Amino acid sequence: MLIEPRPIGPALWEIPLGARPGMHVPARVVADEALMQKMRADKSLEQLVNVTTLPGLVDFAVGMPDMHEGYGFPVGGVAASALPDGAISPGGIGFDINCGVRLLRTGVPHAAVAGVLETLVHELSRSVPTGYGRGGRLDLGGAEIDQVLAHGARWVVEGLGLGEPEDLERCESGGALEGALPEHVSERARTRGKDQLGTLGGGNHFLEVGRVAAVFDEGAARALGLAPGDLTVLLHTGSRGLGHQVCTDHVRVMDARIARERIALVDRQLAWAPSSSPEGRAYFGAMCAAANFAWANRQVLTQRVREVFARVLGPAGLHVEVVYDVAHNIAKIESHGGRALCVHRKGATRALGPGEPDLPERYRAVGQPILIPGSMGTGSYVLVGTAEARARTFASTCHGAGRALSRTAARRESPGHLVRKALEARGIIVRCPSNAELAEEAPFAYKDIERVVEVTERAGIARKVARLVPLGVLKG
């Protein structure tokens, strides 16, 4: 299929209605010419146009600057369907439900602890299990896992005593979605998740100790508690095997419905159901429950980080606080333009502007914190949302640099032991038991984070606050 987007505004492109049969809305992309070239090289533009054929979509489907090919939706794709009967599609959320990022501030100047950084990273690697299938210290019984699925991070704080009430205030949606229906999470999913709270997993998940290398907006940085030179910790993980199984289970149910009702799909990975249907309600409830599991996971990890900082740094390490926690792969019921919509964000971050009532009071004047990881060898950015993002992208922005190479291509490009050596030569401490996985996540496998963030800002959907650079990384 030949798809040629046309520019319609600053860093904004459109594929109009009629580019392929069955489109209900146009497709838009936030990008510059260089990023658009990368999107033309894979199937992400075609996938975004396919998304527009889902029933009930409103306004447009939109791709973020980090967009690349994914399952059904492209990674970096956002679309909203009108309630009650608009489509909900598991491909618009993905298998790693509520994969997301949490930023911790420590108040510890990097210069004061440079001599113990290797010890700090080593102790973190002992306390935080990494890799596919790895379990943690917690092994949940049936009643406990129901609490996690229903109440997310709140149950970890209030039921297990792991964390502070302020942690919840600084999480998107308070660390839990109200629509969770644990009864629609299968026994297989529960078994996969029962010992995985407090674990990173594999793939692109990581724990990164860094420092604030640059501040671009002093007022916003002050509101977020970020000072130049201070140590930070980024946690990137999601709902682990439980979320993957939830997606797998409900895709099968929707596939069966599609076959039973003889519904034609432009892509079999775009299985969907009306949000009001039994299949749609069951999937949404299970997806919310898996999202809650992911927030609980990042809450347990936060406490493990606090324990290590206190153990290694003594009194200096007692002030690890949550800056914010954002979801990347999720569907949420939101109001946009006075309409109740089911907003799918697949590899995309919510980006609320100043004054939004859903924000913590301390951030309301500056906008929602947005956390954009780059790669192990580059840097990451903290941004804040803008009021304009509501109309332009359903209050959404990018979630990272975005892959430039597939995992297979990255492994072919350079073996993991050379990636490790290159990172260590730059003073970055690496803890990863698998050279193969390290190769898959090499810095060259990702797009230029500087360009992605610059385009995001030029499009007016977020603005830069600070840049973080990596000092030590844990990978699966």
Query: Using one digit for the tens of pLDDT, what is the confidence trace for 222-248?
Result: 999 999 999 999 999 999 999 999 999
CB atoms within 10 A of CB 150: 18
Residue 376 lies in a domain: yes
Query: What is the CATH number for 286?
Result: 3.90.1860.10
Nearest to 193 by CA among 252, 138, 129: 138
Query: pLDDT averaged over the chain?
Result: 95
Alpha carbons 279 and 52: distance in angstroms, whole number: 21
Say if residues 460 and 388 touch (Cβ distance below 8 Å): yes
Structural domain boundaries enclosing 89: 6-404+446-475
Q: What whole-number percentage of the chain has pLDDT above 70?
A: 100
Q: Which residues pair with 340 in a beta bridge?
A: 335
pLDDT value at 142 more than 90: no
pLDDT value at 2 more than 70: no
Residue 121 lies in a domain: yes
Alpha carbons 344 and 40: distance in angstroms, whole number: 23
Model pTM? 0.96
Q: Does 250 qualify as catalytic in the annotation?
A: no
Characterize 115-144 residue by residue with b for buried, 16 or more Cβ atoms within 10 angstroms of its Cβ, and e for exposed. Answer: eebeebbbbbbebbbbbeebbbebebeeeb
Say if residues 48 and 15 touch (Cβ distance below 8 Å): yes
Total domains, the chain: 1
Residues with Cβ within 8 Å of 135's Cβ and at least 6 positions away in sequence, in order, are 129, 195, 196, 199
| Helix, strand, or coil (residue 62) | strand
Which residue is it, tokens 């963030």? 453
Query: Using one digit for the tens of pLDDT, what is the confidence trace for 286-302?
Result: 999 999 999 999 999 99
Q: Cα angle vertex 256, ends 254, 260, to 5°? A: 115
Measured CA distances, 415 to 333, 426, 427 (Å): 43, 18, 19
Say if residues 322 and 336 touch (Cβ distance below 8 Å): no
Alpha carbons 400 and 360: distance in angstroms, whole number: 23
Length of the chain: 476
Which residue is it, tokens 């692109």? 204
pLDDT of residue 438: 85
**Backbone dihedral angles phi then psi of residue 172, each to the nearest 5 degrees:** -55, 130
Residue 422 lies in a domain: no
Residue 432 lies in a domain: no
Query: Using one digit for the tens of pLDDT, what is the confidence trace for 413-438?
Result: 888 888 888 888 888 999 988 888 88
pLDDT value at 144 more than 80: yes
Q: Which of 184, 344, 399, 417 is catalytic?
A: 399
| Helix, strand, or coil (residue 331) | strand
